[in-house]
Amino acid sequence: MLKITTFTDPMMGLSYESEPFFRKLETHFAGHIEFHTVMAGLVRNVYEFVNPADLAISEAMAIERYLPHLAAIYNAEQSISGMPISMENLDLFSTDRTSSIPLNLAYKTVQQLAPEKADEFLYRLRFATIVEVRPTTKLNELARVAGQVGINEQTFLNAYHLDDVKASLTEDFQRFQQLGIRGLPAYLLEYQGKRVVVNGVLDDRQFFTLIAQLTQNNISPQKPEISQSAVKNLIEKHKLISPIEIQYAFGLANVNNIMPYLNPLLMNGEIKRIEVQDRGKLSSLNYSFFSLYEPYRIL
């Protein structure tokens, strides 16, 4: 069994844009890969990222001027896979919210409360941060996302402050540091006593090549057959998914090729289509997500 561990932060657009590549790994190497996630704390102190000249004037000015720069970085990352990003009025940091650690701690909280919901929570937290552009460094926003995956919000808030949850996050950070990782995201691939650490985004082709080398072709990709039931099963597994992820999962050449399988499910009300803001760069299909239910949203 191949094990892939991702070192990341829930706020990372690079990891959000990598979701289609992981859908392809899941389906093309079904039953042969274990996926794990380790929190790495991308922004420990936002003042390390702002313009020093702005910071010399005031912390508030430094953050105010940094946020448009951060939004531009997010928007540029959309070119990686086409997952929709539309960063307007970004409010991720303030003088009271100077770190992405709360997002990391929230993931560890859910991982302890309901480990089977951790992946869904991480995806929805990325969705809230990057697609809905919500201020997810706020504790009430994190509790809201926990509620979306079926965790009682008060239960989440109580656990969030527990020492053992904080200790678990510290262990993640220590593991990240021990491996000498210099950039995020990073991946640790392990197979039969062999291991390799790779820094930076890997697309599906790079993953395939790396897996072939590490396993000496003992694990080979198998393209899955697409059908209406297979598409529905994928949506049921992930709860919320973009058409681009479905395209990659089934190895389709064009995202529009998924619609014959989605249309009957939409017409029967078995799934819902969620439109997100379209900045005019891509087709409306690319700016959609599909779900078994409408995500709870406060606009």
- Split at pLDDT 50, 70, 90, the class of 285 is confident
Query: Which residues, 6 or more positions from 150, have their beta carbon under 8 angstroms from its beta carbon?
Result: 114, 117
pLDDT, one tens digit per residue, over 102-160 is: 999 999 999 999 999 999 999 999 999 999 999 999 999 999 999 999 999 999 999 99
End-to-end CA distance of the chain: 44
Query: Which residues, 6 or more positions from 164, have their beta carbon under 8 angstroms from its beta carbon?
Result: 112
Q: Classify domain 2-178 by CATH number.
A: 3.40.30.10
Residue 44's pLDDT is: 98
Residue 299's pLDDT is: 31
Residue 294's pLDDT is: 62
How confident is the model over 83-102, as a mean pLDDT? 96
Cα–Cα distance list, 262 to 190, 235, 272, 274, 295 (Å)? 36, 10, 10, 13, 18
Residue 298's pLDDT is: 36
User: What is the spatial distance between Cα 170 and Cα 76, in angstroms, rounded to a whole number?
Assistant: 31
146 or 295: which leads in pLDDT:
146
CB contact at 8 A, 295 and 92: no
Residue 286's pLDDT is: 81
Length of the chain: 299
pLDDT exceeds 90 at position 284: no
Query: Which residues, 6 or more positions from 24, have their beta carbon under 8 angstroms from its beta carbon?
Result: 204, 207, 248, 249, 251
CB contact at 8 A, 295 and 124: yes
pLDDT exceeds 70 at position 296: no
Q: Could you tell me which of 230, 228, 262 has the C-alpha nearest to residue 243? A: 262
The three-class DSSP label of residue 191 is strand
pLDDT exceeds 80 at position 77: yes
How confident is the model over 172-183, as a mean pLDDT? 94
CB contact at 8 A, 247 and 254: yes
- Split at pLDDT 50, 70, 90, the class of 281 is very low
Residue 86's pLDDT is: 84
User: What is the spatial distance between Cα 87 and Cα 244, in angstroms, rounded to a whole number?
Assistant: 19
Tokens of 180: 């000498």
CB contact at 8 A, 147 and 137: no
User: Could you tell me whether strands 272-275 and 186-191 are parallel, antiparallel, or unpaired per DSSP bridges?
Assistant: unpaired
pLDDT, one tens digit per residue, over 182-225 is: 899 999 999 999 999 999 999 999 999 999 999 999 999 999 99
Residue 65's pLDDT is: 98
Cα–Cα distance list, 93 to 3, 13, 27, 52, 74 (Å)? 34, 15, 37, 16, 14
In the 8-state DSSP scheme, what is residue 187?
Answer: E
pLDDT, one tens digit per residue, over 118-130 is: 999 999 999 999 9
pLDDT exceeds 60 at position 262: yes
pLDDT exceeds 70 at position 280: no
How confident is the model over 23-42, as a mean pLDDT? 98
Domain boundaries, the chain: 2-178, 228-291
Q: Could you tell me which of 37, 31, 23 has the C-alpha nearest to residue 184? A: 37
Mean pLDDT of the chain: 94
User: Could you tell me whether strands 272-275 and 288-291 are parallel, antiparallel, or unpaired per DSSP bridges?
Assistant: antiparallel
Stretch (H or E) spanning 35: strand 33-39
Lowest mean pLDDT among 56-65, 74-83, 256-265, 279-288: 279-288
User: What is the spatial distance between Cα 24 and Cα 119, in angstroms, rounded to a whole number?
Assistant: 16
Give the whole-number percent of the chain exceeding pLDDT 90.
90
* Cβ atoms within 10 Å, residue 176: 19
Lowest mean pLDDT among 11-15, 79-83, 276-280: 276-280
- Split at pLDDT 50, 70, 90, the class of 293 is low
